[in-house]
Structures are given as C-alpha cells and as structure tokens.
Amino acid sequence: MTKKPDILRIAIAQLNPTVGDVAGNLAKAREARADAARQGADIVLYTELFLAGYPPEDLVLKPAFLKACEKAAEDFAKDTADGGPGVIIGTPLKRKSGTHNSIIVADGGKILAERYKLDLPNYGEFDEKRVFQAGPELQGPVNFRGVRIGIPICEDIWGEVAVCETLAESGAEILLVPNGSPYYRAKIDIRHQVVIRQIIECGLPMIYANQLGGQDELIFDGASFAIGADKTLAFQMSQFEEAVDVTTWKRTQDGWVCSEGPMSKIPEREEADYRACMLGLRDYVNKNGFKNVVLGLSGGIDSAICAALAVDALGEERLRAVMMPYRYTSKDSLKDAEDCARALGCRYDIVPIFEPVEGFLHALTQMFEGTKEGITEENLQSRARGTILMAISNKFGSMVVTTGNKSEMSVGYATLYGDMNGGFNPIKDLYKMQVYALSRWRNSHVPPGALGPSGEVIPKNIIDKAPSAELRENQTDQDSLPPYPVLDDILECLVENEMGVDDIVARGHDRATVARVEHLLYIAEYKRRQAAPGVKITRKNFGRDRRYPITNRFRDGR
C-alpha cells in the first residue's frame, strides 16, 4: 500500500489569458508550469476555462473552438510525462451529456479525471446557461498522488447546491477551486465570506484561484487566496498582478494545513478602483491590437483622469491628447489641458473647431431659420470634436478613448456621435464624485505597474473648478443638474440598489428632483445602448448587469 504524502506543494497560477487565443493560453500555461516546477510544486492549479479564456460566451457554440480547446488540454496533459507537477486546468468539453464548463486533472502524461461545473450562473454579468449544460451529476474527489482533492468550479461554491459538503462526505481532504470572478468594489471580502460559509459546512480547507486581466468590460483582479479548516486566512496573493506562487501544505491530525504561502497586502478602495480601470484599458487596447490611443483633452476632470489612466496603462508615447477649442473654451481650460499633457509627458495637439462648427451652422441656416438657438447648436460642437477624433483614429490607427463618467451616462448628458465616440471608456462605471476621489488619489500615488510619472498629473485647478461642458457662455453642469453629491447618491439608489422613489426621498432628497433624475435615467437608455464598452467597477454597470428596455413608460409613483 502506497504511503500517503505528508506534504503537498500546490502552485496557484494567477494569470492573464486572452479569450480565444487557445495557443497563446496554452503557451502561458506551459510557462507557468515550468516556473512552478522550478519552485518544487507537485501540482499547478489554473483558473476557470483557462485554455479558452473566460468568459468565452458564444465562442463555445463553435465546434472548431471546442476542438481546439480539447486538443490543447490533451497536449498539455502529455507534458506531465516529464515527471514535473501535475495540473488542474479549465477548458470547455463537449460530451454526450452536453457542452460543459470543465477542468481536467493530468499527471504522468495522461488525463486522470474530468470534472464539470454543476451550478451555472445566470445573473448579472453571467449567462452561462446560454452556452453550457450543467454537469450531469456530482463526481467525487480526484486521487492525486495519494491525496483526495475535491474540485468545485467557481459558482459551485457560490450557489445553493451543496457541492463542497458532498465532496467532503465523499472523502475529499482539501478543496481546490478554479474561478473566473470579476472585480467590483469590496468583492474580495465577499469571496472570503463565501469560502468561510462553505468551510463551516464541509470542514475542509479551500484554495481559491482567481483569473487576472481585462476581458471587454469585465476585470478579473486575481487576489487568489486560501482559508484553512480553522476559518483563518492561510495565504493571500496579490491583486491586479500576474503571479505563480507555490504554497506548502502539511498533513496533520486535523487535516491539511498551509505552512508556507504569500501574504500580500490588498489595495484600499481608491487604489483598487484606479488599478482596475488601468488594467481594463491596458488589456482592451493590447489584446485588440491597437498600437496607441487618442483622446480629447478638454481641461476638464474626466478627460484628465482618462489621460492619466492611458499614460499609466500604456506609456506616454502611446497617447495623443487633442485640445479642440471653440469660442466658449476658456483660457483656464486651454491652460489646464496643456498643463495636464505636460505633466503626463504625452503628445499634445490643438485642433480648433471654429471653422467646422460654423460650416455646419451655415449649411443648416435655411432649415433652422425661425428657430431658437439651443442644445442642437451646442451638440454640433461636440459632434465636430467627435468627428475629428475619429478622423485621427482612421488616419493613424489610434483607438479613441471616450471619457464620459457614469453620472453623465445615467442622465443622458452626453452627445451621441460626439463626445460618446470612442472604442473604450475606462471611467464608464465611475460616478462623478468617484472620478474626483480617484484623481486626488492619483496625484499622491503611483500605482504598481503604472508607466506614468509621479507627482501631480492632474492639475489642481482641474479638480477645484466647477465642471462645465463649455458649450455656451458661462455654462456649468449644475445649471441643469443637481449638485453631483446629490445626483450621485440618487443614481446609486436607483441603479445599484433599485430603490423606489419613496425610499430615496426618505433619505432626505427632494421628491421632484428624484422623479426628474429617474425620468432622465430611463429616457437615456437608447444612448447607453450605443455607448462604448468600459470597465466595470460597481456591482451593477450599464451593459452586462443592467438590461432595461429602451421603450419604457414606467415611472415610480406615477
């Protein structure tokens, strides 16, 4: 009878795969396994659907894609014949029971076992039931070199299905969980609570390996960890950083205990949000093959923080900032935009829009005769700027970074085919007051991995002055909107918390103001459907999380 091992060295591969790049993901997995082998690992735990990239969405419906993923899994399994560490890696697999979100366990040059996800999430950003079938039944633990390992997959520990408890009853000694858990504010605490709840039920230590990287609007923040059977944190990996960390587990009378592993510090709120935005922009640009980006630098807070994020994510040489002044552009804005560009070290161009705007107005003179000048004429300025940015994009292959915050997008204070033009918006899910908070934070800190300079990169005057679109004389945002602290609180109640008007009024808000904001939120849905994707920061972003009808006559209390 083979003696059971008393020590198990488990490597966690917290990596940044690319959806659809099966060959690239396999190469990344091989590199991580080689790294883990050098560190003396017995087994490497990868994240959910690693070979496919997560989430693969409707790619899973393509037979050629499934075939490529399975072949990569088989090839990787053969690698383990070298006597190095075994692997647990995620891949979609098509079987008689359906197409499953799966993992394979490989060692000694062959696949030892397959396991299928049982609980398919179908809420918020997840719609796995669209493309996957749940595993037909719970399969027991896998015997790996004498250790019985239970392998629930992501949602299997989040839902109501008693997967972990059943695995424990089936003889599992330790649980290794591959995950694709996207970031939102305070998500790490929630993950810890989920794991502790499961440990209370099953009594087994659990390792939680989480994906890293940006995938369209989703940000996977890593922050892999383990919690012991005693419900204490056994190790904590870094957030927003790739890593292959080997942890040492020892068999005791009370089960497996982690004796060695990293204990990384998790960023505070502003740093975490900023790094999520930075990672999301970097991966969207790089994974989609853009060499550089361009944005309109207006002298306002939104474009300034987007410029800082672009330089931090990509480097100063990959950002072109363009000031497009008109007759209402103030001297302060001209100076602030130039100061911001200089502080960041990026290229700065000035392209006046007086002639194109006047040309549009001249062309429309006869049609607009007898009408009052107003928002239509103001929007011509925004659309001229949007057209210029798209022309630069077409000419030089630069992706346009669009710069509208969540407060503006909520109430429709953005111009279609104007300032909404662009390929990606790093602050799409940040309310205005959060933009201010992150700007102040960035002026005092340089986040890890940032390519931008230290010091004040967003001029103080941009932060201190009243926000304005400068589309007419002496205009400020507060001419037509409630103060941003008030607006943001109402919007968070309506969007994130789905609160009724009466409940929001009970918080101290004026009823007429709440009703107006709710109305603006609903009627701007058609604009948001045409907006560029952007980084998800809150629990409920516009897009994947919140799917309201465009045609919608419901108003609370009316």
Tokens representing residue 295 in the block: 């944005």
Strand ranges for 157-205 from DSSP E: 174-179
DSSP 8-state class, residue 182: B
Phi, psi of 11 (to 5 degrees): -95, 140
Q: With beta carbons less than 8 A apart as the criterion, state whether 118 and 158 touch.
A: no
> Hunting for tokens 């009052």 — which residue is that?
372
| 527 labeled part of a ligand binding site | yes
All residues at 6 or more sequence positions from 193 whose CB lies less than 8 Å from its CB, including other chains: none
| Alpha-carbon span 204 to 500, nearest angstrom | 42
| 151 labeled part of a ligand binding site | no
| 473 labeled part of a ligand binding site | no
Identify which of 526, 536, 279, 525 has the alpha carbon closest to the alpha carbon of residue 429: 536
| 406 labeled part of a ligand binding site | no
| Alpha-carbon span 312 to 93, nearest angstrom | 39
| Alpha-carbon span 415 to 454, nearest angstrom | 34
Q: How many CB atoms lie within 10 A of CB 282?
A: 23
Catalytic center residues: 48, 117, 154
| Alpha-carbon span 397 to 116, nearest angstrom | 42
| Alpha-carbon span 76 to 78, nearest angstrom | 5
| 297 labeled part of a ligand binding site | yes
Relative to beta strand 233-236, strand 225-227 is antiparallel
Q: With beta carbons less than 8 A apart as the criterion, state whether 229 and 250 touch.
A: no
Tokens representing residue 507 in the block: 């918080």
| 301 labeled part of a ligand binding site | yes
Q: What is the DSSP string of 89-155?
A: EEEEEEETTEEEEEEEEEETTEEEEEEE--S---STT--GGGT----SS----EEETTEEEE---TH
| 123 labeled part of a ligand binding site | yes
| Alpha-carbon span 129 to 118, nearest angstrom | 11
| 181 labeled part of a ligand binding site | yes
Q: With beta carbons less than 8 A apart as the criterion, state whether 93 and 50 touch.
A: no
Task: Give the count of alpha carbons within 13 A of 5, CB side only.
Answer: 16
| 372 labeled part of a ligand binding site | no
Tokens representing residue 313 in the block: 């994510």
| 300 labeled part of a ligand binding site | yes
End-to-end CA distance of the chain: 75
All residues at 6 or more sequence positions from 420 whose CB lies less than 8 Å from its CB, including other chains: 386, 402, 404, 414, 527, 530, 531, 532
Tokens representing residue 424 in the block: 């990606």
| 296 labeled part of a ligand binding site | yes
Identify which of 168, 170, 172, 223 has the alpha carbon closest to the alpha carbon of residue 200: 168
Point out the annotated binding site for deamido-NAD(+).
379, 408, 527
Binding site, by residue number, is: 123, 181, 187, 296-303, 379, 403, 408, 527
Per the annotation, binding residues for L-glutamine are 123, 181, 187
